Amino acid sequence: MYEYKGYKPPRNGWAISRTKMEQWDKEGRLHFPKSKDGRIQRKRYLDELKGKPVSDLWDDIGQIAAQSHERLDYPTQKPFALLERIINASSNEGDLIADFFCGSGTTLDVAERLGRKWIGADLGKFAIHTTRKRLINTQRQMKKSGCDFRAFEILNLGKYERQHYIGVNLGLREEEQQKQLKKKEADFVSLIIRAYKAEPTDNFKTFSAKEAGRLVAIGPINMPASRLFVEEVIKECIEKHITKLDVLAFEYEMGLFPKIQEDAKAKGIDLALKHIPREVFDKRAIERNQIEFHDVSYIEVKPHIKKGIIAVELTDFSVYYNQDIVDNVIASLKNGSHKVLVEKGNIIKVLKDKDGIVKREVLTKHWTDWIDYWAVDFDFESKKEIKRVVNDEGKFDEVWTGDYIFENEWQSFRTKEDRSIELKSVEHECQKGRRKIAVKVVDIFGNDTMKVIDIKV
């Protein structure tokens, strides 16, 4: 039983000897209260404690706060700390992490920062776009901090999914193959009609359905809708006095619009070109009415060329989206309520006050309001898209698909913290000669549009 520096011991004495007390004091591990009547406390540090294994109930990781910088306002976004714990506990640096429902990209973001390789996939284009912006932002932060990071590619597998959808059994005779192909193409058309909420129609050469007083033509499944295809549809419109037409296709021939719409308008035809979304192959999305067919967009760019240096300026971006019929929205609105919709390329807020008086407010003031992200590939035809196919000997051959891979050599995009966007790219040094430059724009709905221009340096 002893006193230490004027502090009296507890009733049953100190738990340690004087020698140990002096040792801890020398090491700075004792806390002395201001009052001599207080109790001397031992200082303990968390990193020195063994702790206990984490259980299968993790209640120490909270939800993402409303004002958190981490928050992306994506419905299924998970906390960074949660994925960090999972990946740290289940993998080593250099391992491959895969997330086939990547959503907002948290898994890929964590994997990149922890030095893992990764693969991400998602059916939703908005998910891919959100992830792309997030990873570019992560790379910029890592570069600023002097950390290594890997380049990544975004590959659109929609075409291969389409080819698989209409693939035939090559073991059948030619006649049977053609029958199978014809049935699969008919099933594909039925799938698109159902997703578009249209009604099948007969007695037309180019039309497959009708919807809300408009006839519907569906482009080929495995190739872009060409000018010739659209002109044939317009020709039948003229022959049968049809004035309203929707053309649905996965892709369109480059340079087709807006000239083709102008030609149709001059002939008295209201022509809408719409993209078939990849989500049409998701049965659940169709059942839940989650499929949206967006109108095509139009990009205008201006190249600035000076002594082997190129910069690209984005000068216009036109959209023709129509999400709801305004009159129908107004009729369904209750007094004192409002709804935001899209009409003829403008985002409009429709308000109905308590007396039933309707007002409209245009929220998109300028064409730049539609743009969320845009990027430039200064040498578009430099990287061919190659796929590996099995030959007759069972070995793999590398075959060019006919397409090129778009490389994001420069990009500008809006973030939660910075809503501004640059409209002119950095200057890029190029070799003399002819080349193709590709410009890709992603709008606020996650739809991407690309334009390719031919220049001479």
Predicted confidence (pLDDT) per residue in 300-310, tens digit: 999 999 988 99
Helices of type H across 356-452? none
Q: Which residues of the chain have pLDDT under 70?
A: 156-168, 170, 254-255, 257-258, 320-328, 344
Exposed/middle/buried for residue 35 (C-beta within 10 Å: 0-12, 13-18, 19+): exposed
Which pLDDT belongs to residue 159? 59
Q: Identify the helix (H) or strand (E) that includes residue 271.
A: strand 270-275
Which pLDDT belongs to residue 157? 62
Backbone angles phi, psi at 398, to 5 degrees: -90, 125
Buried-exposed string 116-152: b where 16+ CB fall within 10 A, e elsewhere: bebebebbbbbbbbbbbbbbbebbeeeeeeeeebeeb
User: The tokens of 124 are what?
Assistant: 């939703």
Is the separation of the CB atoms in 376 and 312 below 8 Å? yes
Is the separation of the CB atoms in 184 and 165 below 8 Å? yes
Nearest 5 degrees, angle CA 223-CA 225-CA 228?
120
Q: What is the CA radius of gyration of the chain?
A: 31
Beta strand segments in 129-220, E: 199-200, 209-211, 214-218
Which pLDDT belongs to residue 108? 97
Which pLDDT belongs to residue 408? 86
Q: What is the DSSP letter of 97?
A: E
How far is CA 299 from each of CA 26, 99, 295, 366, 440, rounded to the nearest angstrom? 73, 33, 13, 14, 9
| pTM: predicted TM-score of the whole model, two decimal places | 0.63
User: The tokens of 143 are what?
Assistant: 């570069």
Which pLDDT belongs to residue 287? 79
At how many degrees (to 10) do helices 259-266 and 227-239 cross?
Answer: 10
Residue 171 identity (one-letter amino acid): G
Cis ω on the peptide bond leading into residue 258 (within 30° of 0)?
yes
Is the separation of the CB atoms in 218 and 208 below 8 Å? yes
Sole residue written with tokens 């992306």:
72
Q: Identify the helix (H) or strand (E) that includes residue 411.
A: strand 410-413
Which pLDDT belongs to residue 109? 97
Q: How far apart are CA 293 and CA 365, in angstroms?
A: 24
